[in-house]
Amino acid sequence: MDYVRLDYVDLAVAALLVIANAGLSIVLELGLARRVLIAAFRMVVQLVLVGLVLKTLFALTSPLWTGVAALAMILFAGREIMARQDRRLTGLWGYGLGTTCMLLAAAIVTVFALTSSVRPDPWYDPRYAIPLLGMILGNTMTGISLGLHALTTGLVRERTGVEAQLALGATRFEAVRPVVRAALTSALMPIVNSMAATGLVALPGMMTGQILAGVAPEEAVKYQILIMFLIAGGTTLGATAAVMGGATRLTDARHRLRLDRLSAAKD
Q: Could you tell me the smallest distance in angstroms from the CB atom of residue 156 to another protein? A: 13
Give the x/- contact pattern for another protein in 234-253, rule: CB under 8 A.
Answer: ------------------xx
Q: Could you tell me the smallest distance in angstroms from the CB atom of residue 166 to another protein? A: 7
With binding defined as CB under 8 A, does residue 157 bind another protein? no
- Specify the residue, 109 or 162, whose C-beta has the smaller distance to another protein: 162
- Specify the residue, 129 or 262, whose C-beta has the smaller distance to another protein: 262
Q: Could you tell me the smallest distance in angstroms from the CB atom of residue 259 to another protein? A: 11
Contacts 24+ apart (CB under 8 A), 260-265: 261/89, 261/90, 261/93, 262/87, 262/88, 262/89, 262/90, 262/152, 262/156, 263/87, 263/88, 263/89, 263/90, 263/94, 264/87, 265/86, 265/87
**Quick one: which of 17, 254, 264, 267 contacts another protein (CB under 8 A)?**
254
With binding defined as CB under 8 A, does residue 166 bind another protein? yes
**Quick one: which of 158, 183, 207, 250 contacts another protein (CB under 8 A)?**
158
Q: Which stretch binds another protein (CB under 8 A): 42-50, 113-121, 172-180, 233-241?
A: 172-180
257 forms beta bridges with 251
Q: Could you tell me the smallest distance in angstroms from the CB atom of residue 91 to another protein? A: 16
Q: How many residues bind another protein (CB under 8 A)?
A: 24
Q: Could you tell me the smallest distance in angstroms from the CB atom of residue 92 to another protein? A: 20
Q: Could you tell me the smallest distance in angstroms from the CB atom of residue 157 to another protein? A: 11
**Quick one: which of 26, 167, 196, 213 contacts another protein (CB under 8 A)?**
167
Q: Which residues contact 127 (CB under 8 A, 6 or more apart)?
A: 58, 120
- Under 8 Å between Cβ of 100 and 244: no
With binding defined as CB under 8 A, does residue 261 bind another protein? no
**Quick one: which of 63, 120, 178, 190 contacts another protein (CB under 8 A)?**
178
Host H or E run for residue 194: helix 172-197
Q: Could you tell me the smallest distance in angstroms from the CB atom of residue 246 to another protein? A: 19
- Specify the residue, 37 or 163, whose C-beta has the smaller distance to another protein: 163
CA-CA-CA-CA dihedral for 79, 264, 185, 227, to nearest 10: 0
Closest CA to 242 of 145, 111, 129: 145
**Quick one: which of 55, 127, 159, 181 contacts another protein (CB under 8 A)?**
159
Closest CA to 204 of 187, 188, 222, 180: 222
Amino acid residing at 227: I
Where residue 62 falls (left for φ over 0; alpha for ψ -120 to 50; beta otherwise) is beta
Distance, in Å, from the CA atom of 30 to the CA atom of 15, rounded to the nearest integer, reads 20
Q: Given the rule CB under 8 A, which residues bind another protein? A: 158-172, 175, 178, 252-258
